[in-house]
Structure 1
Amino acid sequence: MFDSHAFFKRRFSAHMKETSRYLRYIFNGHIAVAMLFFISAAAYYYQGWLANLPDNFPTAWIIGVAFGLLVSYSPVRTLLKEPDLVFLIAAENKMGPYFRDALIYSFVIQLYLILLAGAAFGPLYFASYPDRAGNIYLLTLLVVLIFKVGNLVDNWWMLKIREPGIRQVDQAVRMLLNVAVFYFIVQGEMVWAGITTVLFTLVFLYDLSVSRKYPGIVWDLLVEKDRSRMQTFYRIANMFTDVPHLKNQVKNRHWLVSLVSRVPFANRHTFDYLYRISFVRSGDYLGMYVRLIVIGGLFVYFVPNIWMKLLFALLFLYMSAFQMMTLYHHHRTIMWLDLYPVDIGVRQRSLLKLLFQLTLFQTIIYTLLFIVMQEWAGMLIVLAGGIVFDYLFILGYVKKKVTT
């Protein structure tokens, strides 16, 4: 007899074994040091900023929006795979325990976001409302957990509806109600919080009645959503190690390709062309590079201490070069590259040259930021230090990695 609860346990065990293998590569020593640096610096400046918090700071809006979005984002992880479309449909009436376990698993793995948000907004809450007792904030977090469960169950009901427009409208309505509920709770307007909670309950009951009209399970939708989430995880992991399960997405970006693909027509520039095109069109290299520049630029611009600005600039230069290193292994599974009449040293030099160009461009961006802030000493230090760092890191660490 088919036991769906035991089946979920086997599927969950295989899933955890696979993800933990990639997580070891993602949270390696380099990322751990960077995260520790970020958390320490952010906590230091956060405490200093709270000491001078303005009286009219919109704390209720910020916490309300953050908690509202957190509870609204409640995806259901079913761990279903494409073969299940064939082999499990016949056992659909026995899959109740499986989906119950999937809901519990989905709730547990999303708890860390609530715990992080609760810890992050706690000091802001107490600094803005020093006359309130600590247990009031704990009760607020309890309400967050209750709404999290409600939104998770509601999302599961709406997955029985195939039309994406209906699901999106329902998601938008619940998100607005979630934000309103937590805004009023933090603001201390409990009457309005109660009214919006009643409205959310009515939407919750309406979704229940709608889902009962669709007793079946939309298997292809569940498989597609879980596959999409795993592909997102694989794309992140692929920046640290080779992921054979990843289905690479190639984007056109014709205008950008025409801009970066102008290289001389010669053997020694074969991999210059390939790596430039791969950087622009394949995976998430370009997106990751731009995000690191933007986030690093925000730190450089808003952090008050000039030495911390310089440290953040060098840190993001390091992170960009480290993330782009995986370009060298991006085409590992393509056998045609081994047939190119190009020496392996040409391939290695092409990657080093591209990395140096990317980090040099990032150094120039941060130098321009220091010019905008009229930090002339910082401008000179980040320009000289960035070039020296790029040269030493790429010709030292990266070169040794790609040649071994």
Structure 2
Amino acid sequence: MINAKEFWKKRFSAHMKETNRYLKYIFNGHMAVAMFFFVSALAYFYQQWLQDIPEGFPTALIVGAAFGYMVSYSPVRTLLKEPDLVFLLPAEYHLGDYFRRCLYYSYVIQLYLIFLIGAALGPLYFATYPEFGTRHYLMMIGVALIIKVWNMLSNWWMLKERSPRIRVTDQLVKAVLNMVIFYFLAKGEWLFASIVTVLLVVVVLYSYNLSRKKAGLTWDLLVQKDQQRMRTFYRIANMFTDVPHLKNTVKKRHGLVRALIGGLTYRQDQAFAYLYRITFVRSSDYLGMYFRLIVIGGLAVWFVPNVWFKAAFALLFLYLTAFQMMSLWNHHRTIAWMDIYPLKKEWKTKALLSWMKQLMLFQTFLFGLLFLVQWNPVGLVIVWGGGAVFSYLFINSYVKQKLV
């Protein structure tokens, strides 16, 4: 008979070793400095904005949606692997203690999201509803911790259901009810919140009753869900370091490919320029990350009131973009054909440096357009001029030295 407790310890130890291996690269010095600056600046302007908060601002709606989403998002990490479908299936009824520990672990590692949201929205809530005070807000957080348990148990029970339509419907209904509960709590309407809470309990009990009718666990679904979450983690880690066992997906995107390679010729020294452009467009990592950084940086540039902080945010996100795009250099390192073809290494270096410079200049141009729309000529000159100089110096000094 399998020892569920010992099995959990081994599987948990291996999982922590694997995640810690990549977390040290994610939270490296570059990212720590950038995030410290980003969070500090946002906190400063957040505090300034709260001093003159608009009348009628929908604080209750924002707090209800944020808390409701956080308690609804309650996935269960089982740490299962594909071979478990064969070797552990016969021992399912001996693994009760293992899955209980999975629930405990999943609950604990997700608590930081509730506390993070609570800390972020606390000043906004106190500025809007000073009459409720700290005790009321702490009670809301306590209710969130309790409802989080209900949602996680309900999600675990629903994993016995094979129909995706039923699972999605269940998730949507609970998410809406959770948001409505915290909307009423934020407004101090405990009676309405209690009524909706009763409806949530009914949905949770329905999930439990549905799971009792199922014969056993859907092991393939449990493995699939856990693999999806690990792939998400690996994609994030792959932006900072190499993840050998990450299975990258490729998308065609014919229109973008034609637009980017249209000006290239079929000469040998253009081979890497062609390769890096289509890799950037068709890979599942680079294009999405590039546009996400543009959107987040653009929002910061748009909403931050001070022109110098606007320019600083623009340069910060230029730096983050260049830092992330450097991983293109090693993207094809395992392909033997790269060493067989008669292509010079300096062509490869030149192609990547040129492509990264174009990406940074295009991002600089877009950030400048935001200053133009807001009619801020000083900021426009600072960003376009400073962004161009920064792109040139960063590419030809730091990035060039790292391409080895």
TM-score, normalised by the number of residues in structure 1 = 0.98
| Counterpart residue type for residue 309 of structure 2 | M
Question: Residue 274 of structure 1 corresponds to which residue in structure 2?
Answer: 275
Question: Residue 245 of structure 1 corresponds to which residue in structure 2?
Answer: 245
| Counterpart residue type for residue 286 of structure 2 | Y
Shift of 1:283: 2.6
Question: Residue 364 of structure 1 corresponds to which residue in structure 2?
Answer: 365
Between the aligned partners of 1:50 and 1:369, the Cα distance in structure 2 is: 24
Unaligned runs of 5+ in 2: none
Between the aligned partners of 1:376 and 1:277, the Cα distance in structure 2 is: 36
Question: Residue 352 of structure 1 corresponds to which residue in structure 2?
Answer: 353
Please list, as runs of the form range in 1=range in 2, the aligned pairs for 1:41-52 lying within 5 A after superposition. 41-52=41-52
Question: Residue 265 of structure 2 corresponds to which residue in structure 1?
Answer: 264
**Residue 403 of structure 2 aligns to a residue in which SS?**
helix
**Structure 1 moving runs of 4+ over 4 Å:** none
Shift of 1:56: 1.3
Shift of 1:261: 2.1
| Counterpart residue type for residue 236 of structure 2 | I
Shift of 1:215: 3.1
Q: Deviations over 1:65-90 (max 9, x none)?
A: 00001111111111100111111001
Between the aligned partners of 2:312 and 2:123, the Cα distance in structure 1 is: 26
Please list, as runs of the form range in 1=range in 2, the aligned pairs for 1:187-202 lying within 5 A after superposition. 187-202=187-202
Shift of 1:315: 0.4
Between the aligned partners of 2:146 and 2:100, the Cα distance in structure 1 is: 17
Question: Residue 179 of structure 1 corresponds to which residue in structure 2?
Answer: 179
| Counterpart residue type for residue 295 of structure 2 | V
Question: Residue 397 of structure 2 corresponds to which residue in structure 1?
Answer: 396
**Residue 184 of structure 1 aligns to a residue in which SS?**
helix
Between the aligned partners of 1:207 and 1:60, the Cα distance in structure 2 is: 29
Question: Residue 154 of structure 2 corresponds to which residue in structure 1?
Answer: 154
Residue 314 of structure 1 pairs with residue 315 of structure 2: yes
Between the aligned partners of 1:145 and 1:38, the Cα distance in structure 2 is: 29
Between the aligned partners of 2:394 and 2:54, the Cα distance in structure 1 is: 43
Question: Residue 377 of structure 1 corresponds to which residue in structure 2?
Answer: 378
Question: Residue 126 of structure 1 corresponds to which residue in structure 2?
Answer: 126
Shift of 1:42: 0.9
Question: Residue 343 of structure 1 corresponds to which residue in structure 2?
Answer: 344
Question: Residue 91 of structure 2 corresponds to which residue in structure 1?
Answer: 91
Between the aligned partners of 1:204 and 1:398, the Cα distance in structure 2 is: 53
Question: Residue 73 of structure 2 corresponds to which residue in structure 1?
Answer: 73
| Counterpart residue type for residue 403 of structure 2 | V
RMSD across aligned C-alpha pairs, in angstroms?
0.9
Question: Residue 294 of structure 1 corresponds to which residue in structure 2?
Answer: 295
| Counterpart residue type for residue 140 of structure 1 | M
Question: Residue 329 of structure 1 corresponds to which residue in structure 2?
Answer: 330
Unaligned runs of 5+ in 1: none
Shift of 1:133: 2.9
Identity of aligned residues (%): 60
Shift of 1:55: 3.2
Question: Residue 101 of structure 1 corresponds to which residue in structure 2?
Answer: 101
Between the aligned partners of 1:39 and 1:239, the Cα distance in structure 2 is: 20
Shift of 1:252: 1.2
Between the aligned partners of 2:152 and 2:195, the Cα distance in structure 1 is: 21
| Counterpart residue type for residue 118 of structure 1 | G
Between the aligned partners of 1:170 and 1:194, the Cα distance in structure 2 is: 20
Between the aligned partners of 2:332 and 2:372, the Cα distance in structure 1 is: 40
Between the aligned partners of 1:223 and 1:340, the Cα distance in structure 2 is: 41
Between the aligned partners of 1:368 and 1:128, the Cα distance in structure 2 is: 34
| Counterpart residue type for residue 397 of structure 2 | G
Shift of 1:154: 0.3
Question: Residue 139 of structure 1 corresponds to which residue in structure 2?
Answer: 139
Between the aligned partners of 2:132 and 2:184, the Cα distance in structure 1 is: 15
Between the aligned partners of 2:183 and 2:87, the Cα distance in structure 1 is: 46
Between the aligned partners of 2:119 and 2:344, the Cα distance in structure 1 is: 54
Between the aligned partners of 2:232 and 2:186, the Cα distance in structure 1 is: 34
Q: Which moved more, 1:335-344 or 1:388-397?
A: 335-344
**Residue 110 of structure 1 aligns to a residue in which SS?**
helix
Q: Deviations over 1:70-121 (max 9, x none)?
A: 1111111111001111110011111111110111111111111111001011
Shift of 1:225: 0.8
| Counterpart residue type for residue 217 of structure 2 | I
